[in-house]
């Protein structure tokens, strides 16, 4: 999910990722990602321990030299330099403060008044 967040941020100009449960754009399917909260290295270790067969895949950024691989390397470098950074980013994705971003579809900036609260009950702005 973190890789998708940064791919959208850097290359699509969007602040979004793919949550653990998502309705497709057409609305005809629900995608459920049961391992969304598991760390990839833990999944890989479990798969090796269970001797699951490795099925080659060229989807979703598995190919070399694609941006997903670059994002994965960037996150890996950050995690090496600052242990726990990935978990902090993941936690941040669950604590969005719409009033502190710029999307007027999520927060009514036009009619903002002193003491206004966002959806989480946080005061958006208490003074100018």
Give the mean model confidence (pLDDT) for residues 39-46.
Answer: 91
At residue 57, does pLDDT exceed 60? yes
Residue entry with tokens 């895949």: 57
- Which pTM was predicted? 0.74
Domain locations along the chain: 2-95, 98-128
**Do residues 23 and 91 touch, judged by C-beta distance below 8 A?**
no
CB within 8 A of 100, min separation 6: which ones?
Answer: 118, 124
- Of the pLDDT bands very low, low, confident and very high (cuts 50, 70, 90), residue 65 is low
Q: Which two tokens stand for residue 72?
A: 């994965």
- Of the pLDDT bands very low, low, confident and very high (cuts 50, 70, 90), residue 66 is confident
Average pLDDT, the chain: 85
At residue 113, does pLDDT exceed 90? no
At residue 125, does pLDDT exceed 60? no
Q: Which two tokens stand for residue 20?
A: 């653990």
């Amino acid at each position: 999910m973190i890789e998708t967040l940064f791919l959208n941020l850097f290359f699509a100009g969007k602040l979004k990722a793919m949550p653990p449960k998502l309705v497709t754009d057409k609305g005809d399917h629900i995608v459920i990602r049961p391992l969304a909260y598991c760390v990839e290295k833990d999944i890989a270790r479990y798969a090796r321990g269970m001797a699951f067969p490795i099925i080659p895949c060229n989807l979703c950024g598995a190919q070399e030299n694609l941006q997903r691989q670059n994002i994965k390397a960037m996150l890996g470098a950050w995690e090496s330099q600052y242990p726990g950074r990935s978990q902090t980013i993941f936690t941040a994705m669950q604590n969005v403060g719409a009033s502190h971003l710029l999307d007027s579809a999520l927060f009514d900036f036009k009619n903002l008044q002193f003491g206004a609260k966002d959806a989480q009950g946080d005061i958006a702005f208490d003074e100018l």
